[in-house]
Amino acid sequence: MYGLEAISAHNGWAMAIIGPLIVMSGLTILSIIISQLHKLVAIFDKKAEQTTEPLVEIKDEISVPKILPNDILETAKIYQMLIEKLEQPFELSDLYQIAEQNSFPHPILTVSRLRDAGILIREGEGLFIWNR
């Protein structure tokens, strides 16, 4: 059996129609998903904007962001106000304590980043100075 008889006998016409329909429906679904992807990206952008914008007023009129900026120099400007209250050289435990009292976010991680950037320099056994 050859030709159109073989196609009819083995459901070839149905497969010839169903195959493109499956491909087209898959492409349609994929295009709908891609067209709505911008909404998902907008949700993540809103979260990123909210983490950098709001400021919290604290005791000594120092405004500290709820989440410190990713730029270490901007973070250093914020922490410089605290370090000016300490005598030079100072212990890191004093800096941690004053940062906690003023509700600075993540003081241990931030001080570690300041040390890695060379902004806090080791002066002696457990003592540090501020590199201006």
Least confident of 5-14, 43-52, 73-82, 87-96: 43-52
Instruction: Say if residue 68 is in the same domain as residue 32.
Output: no
The dihedral through the CA atoms of 69, 74, 76, 82 has a sign that is negative
Which residue type sits at 75?
T
Domain coverage including residue 17: 4-47
Q: Are residues 43 and 65 in the same domain?
A: no
Residue 68: pLDDT band (50, 70, 90) is low
Nearest to 92 by CA among 61, 123, 58: 123
Give the total number of structural domains in the chain: 2
Q: What share of the chain is helix, strand, coil (3-state, %, to 5)?
A: 60, 15, 30
Same domain for 17 and 65?
no
How many other CB atoms sit within 10 Å of the CB of residue 130? 19
Per-residue model confidence (pLDDT) at position 36 = 92
pLDDT digits (tens, 9 = 90+) for 2-59: 888 888 888 899 999 999 999 999 999 999 999 999 988 888 887 766 654 433 344 5
Residues 60 and 109 in one domain: yes
Instruction: Give the distance from CA 18 to its chain's centroid.
Output: 45
Q: Are residues 61 and 40 in the same domain?
A: no
- Choose the final residue of a domain: 29, 47, 65: 47
Instruction: Evaluate whether 53 touches 67 at the Cβ level (below 8 Å).
Output: no
* 40 and 89 inside one domain: no
Whole-prediction pTM = 0.43
